[in-house]
Amino acid sequence: HRDGRRSDKSPSGFRTLRLRAEDSCGREHVLTVKLKSKHPAEAPDCSADLPVPLALPWTPQSTLEQLHAHFLLVLESLTQFWDVLDEIDSKTWILEPERPSRSDTMRRIAIGNNVSIKVELDPRHPKMLPECCLLGAEHGAACASAGRNPDASVLLNLRDVLEIQFPSPATHDKSSFNVECGICYSYRLEAAVPDQVCNDPRCGQPFHQACLYEWLRALPSSRQSFSIVFGECPYCGKPITVKMAAHAP
């Protein structure tokens, strides 16, 4: 219950309830219900960690039990979506988001050293093959659009369509994916992730745009043309270019 998001100042006579609910697959959910001062004439504010907007019917005769029952129906409509993501989360290494919540529809999945795939699921059509985009040393983005086998899981379809073996927690350690920026050694720099990747396939080291820009700009061997700096990869010495980061000083 201490979720640190209690910044909204509650007027007096304004109560917040947290109703727990378990979906048919045993996942725990919380429905946050803020009762208005004119409750029950005024509908309460309801919120939950869901990938879709939450709209629960309310009349002055409604009860919290009915609200809870409606919430369970909403949860049931999303169980397939969470099934798909739970399979992906348990069988692959997720690089982003760091701690997926029940409302997150995107996953960046590690494929190999410096290569990952970003998939975006539609919560209303979770069994469809998600939109996906390959990130990493091979810049060509392979984006599959159609599912192959309607009986197989999304993860298996992704594997077959993209011909990718996803390293899983069972077979790989997360540290085998070299995903940190090669200059600052962290993954997240403010909101940015290391998306500038050395084009040499044997190197493939990722960098933050701002880190690489600052690094190259400081070297006398680099040259700048308009907003692009041409220099050498700090790791392998092969040519690398970077655009000036929009927020770079």
Under the binding rule (CB under 5 A), the answer on residue 198 touching Zn ion is yes
Least distance from Zn ion to the Cβ atom of residue 210, Å: 7
Alpha helices in the chain, H assignment, sequence order: 64-77, 79-91, 154-162, 209-217
Q: Distance of alpha carbon 236 from its chain centroid, rounded? A: 31
Per CB under 5 A, which of residues 161..190 are in contact with Zn ion? 181, 183-184, 189
Nearer to Zn ion, 33 or 198 (CB): 198
| Interactions with Zn ion, residue window 26-85 (CB under 5 A) | none
Among 211, 216, 229, 242, binds Zn ion (CB under 5 A): 211
Phi, psi of 191 (to 5 degrees): -100, -5
Contact predicate 169/144, CB 8 Å: no
Instruction: Quote the tokens at residue 204.
Output: 């493939």
Q: How far is the CB of 240 from Zn ion (least distance, A)?
A: 6
- Give 129-133's long-range contacts (Cβ < 8 A, gap of 24+): 129/154, 129/157, 129/158, 129/161, 130/154, 130/158, 132/158, 132/162
Least CB distance from residue 215 to Zn ion, whole Å? Answer: 9
Choose between 121 and 216: whose C-beta lies nearer to Zn ion: 216
Strand arrangement, sheet containing 28-35: 15-22, 28-35, 45-47
If the CB atoms of residues 157 and 205 are measured against Zn ion, the closer one turns out to be 205
Segment interacting with Zn ion (CB under 5 A) among 34-42, 49-57, 106-114, 232-240: 232-240
CB of 11 to Zn ion, least distance (A): 45
Residues that bind Zn ion (CB under 5 A): 181, 183-184, 189, 198, 200, 203, 208, 211, 233, 235-236
